[in-house]
């Protein structure tokens, strides 16, 4: 068909560290090894949020962003430790150094995961699968940690592949199997599909990629806006997004739409703690500090407000982000409110750590076939 988009074939690796924060703690403190370990806020008082959990704790159903109180209900014998973000950032930088041996096209998503474009790798290895193996082995040998890797021709499929054989996994999904793979994929695994969108899709009888494939591009756009165009392409195995090593960042944040309306200040503050943790992690990733924090609130009637506070000096510490958001929230008089979305963002950046050099953007080209 003349209007079908053309797929650009690249060699993409997605590396995702296994239970990163918890694994660093277990590496550094032998008494935590083999134990159900939860890194995050303590469950006492109002309680905090789980940043991550060891695989021993995950067996009990403990997950990131879960309240610590809920986590201790699921796993009463769990050990709780507070995050040491400076330590995690230092390890993350060492992981990045390993990546840079193979390519300069590295797009970090957080401290513990990144995309790599190895279409033209520095060492002329040629095989993305072999590069992924070498990276995993280097992380194990040099840092005593494990990572999982997904290898494919685009970012979307590589990211999903990295999650298939965790922990310490390696999964390759080649061009000839992508469409079949996408057809079997549950809709909640699609890029940009959160809980609310997934629920809407299922109400429409759309449960898998194969179901999405039955709709035309116009139908998908009508139901899901601009994201519908992306769903139309990705279910056909097409994702032409480039790995972006540098992006000018004017603001940085995170938001969440809830499965049910929040009606109490305690619920709102618990959700703000989770969002603040995500924002904090992203600030560390980009070495950014902001002077202005903005709170976004959307009510059940879709009315939306923002409130912001500026500071004389730039900051990026978790405590300031969380407490400022909560203070702005309290000032909105939320007692009788029903809230469906909350968001936190930072802007007015300063104290930016300069890049070592401005890499030349490499164009991988429209290759028809590659050896992985």
Q: What is the set of active-site residues?
A: 113
Nearest 5°: the CA angle 368, 120, 5 is: 35
Question: What does the alpha-carbon distance between residue 268 and residue 329 come to, in Å, rounded to a whole number?
Answer: 8
Cis bond leading into 130, ω under 30°?
no
DSSP H or E run through 326: helix 318-330
For the chain, counts of helices (H) and of strands (E): 13, 12
Question: What does the alpha-carbon distance between residue 37 and residue 55 come to, in Å, rounded to a whole number?
Answer: 8
DSSP H or E run through 261: strand 251-262
Burial environment of residue 24 by CB neighbours within 10 A (0 to 12, 13 to 18, 19 or more): buried
Burial pattern 311-331, b for ≥16 Cβ within 10 A else e, equals eeebbbebebbbebbbebbee
DSSP for residue 9: B
Burial pattern 52-79, b for ≥16 Cβ within 10 A else e, equals bbbebbbeeebebbbbbbbbbebbeebb
């Amino acid at each position: 068909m003349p209007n079908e988009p053309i797929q650009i074939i690249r060699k993409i690796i997605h590396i995702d560290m296994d239970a990163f924060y918890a694994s660093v703690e277990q590496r550094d403190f032998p008494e935590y090894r083999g134990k159900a370990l939860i890194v995050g806020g303590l469950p006492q008082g109002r309680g905090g949020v789980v940043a991550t959990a060891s695989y021993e704790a995950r067996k009990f159903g403990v997950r990131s962003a879960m309240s610590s109180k809920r986590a201790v209900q699921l796993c009463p014998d769990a050990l709780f430790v507070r995050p040491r973000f400076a330590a995690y950032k230092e390890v993350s930088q060492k992981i990045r150094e390993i990546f840079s041996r193979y390519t300069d096209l590295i797009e970090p998503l957080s401290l513990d995961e990144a995309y790599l474009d190895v279409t033209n790798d520095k060492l002329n290895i040629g095989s993305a699968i072999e590069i992924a193996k070498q990276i995993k082995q280097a992380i194990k040998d040099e840092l005593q940690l494990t990572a999982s890797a997904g290898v494919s021709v685009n970012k979307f499929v590589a990211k999903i592949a990295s999650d298939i054989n965790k922990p310490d996994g390696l999964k390759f999904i080649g061009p000839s199997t992508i469409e079949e793979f996408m057809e079997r994929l549950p809709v909640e695994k699609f890029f940009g599909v959160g809980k609310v969108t997934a629920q809407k899709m299922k109400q429409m009888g759309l449960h898998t990629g194969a179901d999405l494939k039955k709709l035309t591009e116009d139908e998908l756009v009508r139901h899901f806006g601009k994201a519908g165009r992306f769903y139309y392409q990705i279910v056909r195995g097409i994702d032409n997004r480039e790995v972006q090593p540098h992006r000018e960042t004017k603001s940085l944040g995170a938001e969440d739409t809830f499965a049910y309306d929040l009606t109490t200040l305690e619920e709102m503050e618990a959700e703000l703690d989770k969002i603040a943790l995500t924002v904090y992690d992203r600030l560390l990733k980009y070495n950014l500090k902001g002077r202005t924090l903005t709170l976004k609130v959307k009510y059940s009637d879709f009315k939306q407000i923002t409130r912001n506070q500026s500071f004389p000096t730039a900051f990026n510490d978790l405590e300031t982000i969380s407490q400022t958001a909560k203070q702005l929230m309290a000032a909105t008089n939320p007692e009788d409110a029903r809230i469906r979305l909350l968001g936190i963002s930072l802007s007015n950046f300063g104290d930016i750590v300069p890049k070592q050099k401005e890499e030349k953007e490499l164009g991988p080209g429209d290759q028809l076939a590659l050896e992985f």
